[in-house]
Amino acid sequence: MKPKPTHRSALVIGAGIAGIQAAIDLADAGVRVVLVERGDLVGGRMAQTDKTFPTLDCSSCTLTPRTVEVGSHPRIRLLTRAEVTALDVDSGGYRVQVRVRPRYVDPEACVSCGACAEVCRMKGRVSRRFDLALAKGSAIDLPYPQAVPSSYAVDPHSCLYLTRGKCGENPRCVEACEAGAIHLDQTEHTEVLEVGAVVVATGYDLYPPEHPEWGRPELGFEHYPQVISNLQFERLCSASGPTQGELRIGDMEPKRVAFLQCVGSRDQATGAAYCSRVCCMVSLKQAILVLEKRPGAQVTVLYMDMRAFGKGYEEFMERAQRLGVTLRRGNPAEVYRKGGALAVRFEDTLLGRAQELEADLVVLACGMRPPEPTAELARVLGLTLAEDGFFRGSDPRDPVLTGESGVFLAGTAAGPMDIPDAVASGSAAASAALARLLGRGAEP
């Protein structure tokens, strides 16, 4: 029988929806939680999403109550721009080292007035990462109005003062901040934490079609502005996005939209033979949104196989077809310019011959990939990776277990899944961690 942990606290790595759910469940059970997020805010990819399927509920309406709770919960401490660099077993738990990079803005003092961003010398010249380079902002920015922490942060790679050591006579942002929240002299520091359990909820990244080694340049991503990823499409549809929810690229309002499935999934040439599970339903949801925003538009989904695996998903696919979405079984080969629009050359795998589809907008259904730091984090935590690059569980009957005592998996850290499954996984990991903390043998 394993000894009961002496540290009644837990570390949650990653503040996406699964990590948020795990942190709230643990905190509500009386556990002190440190939530570590390598980005500037909580919410993960769900925060960038406009609607959820199959209900088409507002993503922010579902997520915001949770992000607000995790940001204000008395038993949850949030560390942003933070990464776990070492983990050692000590008596009754773990000693964890966390490297915290500076935000250069004090979240407690910042009132989110935006005066700093307005006067920034780089205003309108910095690609907004939250909007996936679809818009330009300042070197000091708030990703979106409901962000938690509700605080601006400085991009150290774009700020003139941090990159060149000088920003005019004085940094305008510091002068404009009446709250005195901006401190450009902040430095990186390391915190040492003692916890009894660790939940790994590191989320996912999107497949990059522009990758120099295993990308798909023939699809025109980053070559044609009218070729975008599925997550960029979400930002275009969002009211907090670069077009305030209007579906357009520059001055172009698309009337013909093509969705290309399995871009970076089920394809060994791109390094991912596995299915990313959610892409089919995401494209059907986005196809319905096109018809809502552009009544009468021609919307075509080119698919390998439509996989509607969840509750209500088959009915959702039928709903999309009734609304006018065309599903064609086709394998895209190339996207190229044709007149004032684009054309998609593909193999119709039912007819067995090459076809061409003209479109004003092409949306690539980019698959899920493990985040870049996953391999290094696995080494630090003493975990192993599966063939797909995500963390490997130790028991297929209980996917939160890792084989490492006191370390549990949540959400897409273990592989592709949709939002409901990620939420359930976060709660399951929290339950296993709580059982560990109570000494009730959550693991073999």
For the chain, 444 residues long, give each residue's pLDDT as a single digit of tens. 344 555 689 999 999 999 999 999 999 999 999 999 999 999 999 999 999 999 999 999 999 999 999 999 999 999 999 999 999 998 779 999 999 999 999 999 999 999 999 999 999 999 999 999 999 999 999 999 999 999 999 999 999 999 999 999 999 999 999 999 999 999 999 999 999 999 999 999 999 999 999 999 999 999 999 999 999 999 999 999 999 999 999 999 999 999 999 999 999 999 999 999 999 999 999 999 999 999 999 999 999 999 998 999 999 999 999 999 999 999 999 999 998 899 999 999 999 999 999 999 999 999 999 999 999 999 999 999 999 999 999 998 999 999 888 999 999 999 999 999 999 999 999 999 999 999 865 443
pTM metric for this prediction: 0.95
Task: Count the neighbouring beta carbons within 10 Å of the beta carbon of residue 244.
Answer: 9
- Domain co-membership, 45 together with 194: yes
- Provide the domain count of the chain: 3
- Domain co-membership, 151 together with 288: no
Residue 109 belongs to a domain = no
As a whole number of angstroms, the distance between CA 258 and CA 153 comes to 37
Which residues neighbour 64 within 8 Å (Cβ) at sequence distance 6 or greater?
A: 146
Cα dihedral across residues 14, 19, 24, 26: positive or negative: negative
Per-residue pLDDT, 2: 46
Per-residue pLDDT, 443: 43
Q: Are 11 and 27 in contact (CB under 8 A)?
A: no
Per-residue pLDDT, 405: 85
- Domain co-membership, 122 together with 230: no
3-state secondary structure of 345: strand
- Domain co-membership, 244 together with 353: yes
- Domain co-membership, 255 together with 328: yes
As a whole number of angstroms, the distance between CA 381 and CA 86 comes to 7
- Domain co-membership, 61 together with 196: yes
Q: Are 115 and 176 in contact (CB under 8 A)?
A: yes
Q: Which two tokens stand for residue 67?
A: 């992000």
Q: Are 13 and 200 in contact (CB under 8 A)?
A: yes
Residue 155 belongs to a domain = yes
Residue 4 belongs to a domain = no
- Domain co-membership, 376 together with 362: no
Domain boundary among 130, 156, 176: 176
Residue 137 belongs to a domain = yes
- Domain co-membership, 359 together with 258: yes
Helix or strand holding residue 76 (H, E): strand 76-80
Domain boundary among 349, 367, 385: 367
Residue 428 belongs to a domain = yes
Residue 320 belongs to a domain = yes
* CA 382 to each of CA 90, 210, 370, 404: distance values in angstroms, whole numbers, following the listed order: 15, 32, 17, 7
Q: Are 247 and 409 in contact (CB under 8 A)?
A: no
Residue 442 belongs to a domain = no
Residue 192 belongs to a domain = yes
Domain around 167: 115-176
- Domain co-membership, 263 together with 324: yes
Q: Which two tokens stand for residue 364?
A: 């690539």
As a whole number of angstroms, the distance between CA 57 and CA 207 comes to 26
Task: Count the neighbouring beta carbons within 10 Å of the beta carbon of residue 231.
Answer: 17
Give the helix ranges, DSSP H, for 172-277. 172-176, 230-237
Q: Which two tokens stand for residue 410?
A: 């949540």
- Domain co-membership, 160 together with 223: no
- Domain co-membership, 253 together with 280: yes
Domain boundary among 367, 382, 405: 367
* CA 228 to each of CA 119, 302, 339: distance values in angstroms, whole numbers, following the listed order: 31, 15, 19
Q: Sheet containing 93-100: which strands, arranged edge to edge?
A: 82-90, 93-100, 189-195
CATH at 272: 3.50.50.60
DSSP-derived secondary structure letter, 413: G
Q: Annotate 104-123 with DSSP letters as a single string.
A: SB-TTT-----HHHHH-TTT
- Domain co-membership, 57 together with 138: no
Q: Are 93 and 6 in contact (CB under 8 A)?
A: yes
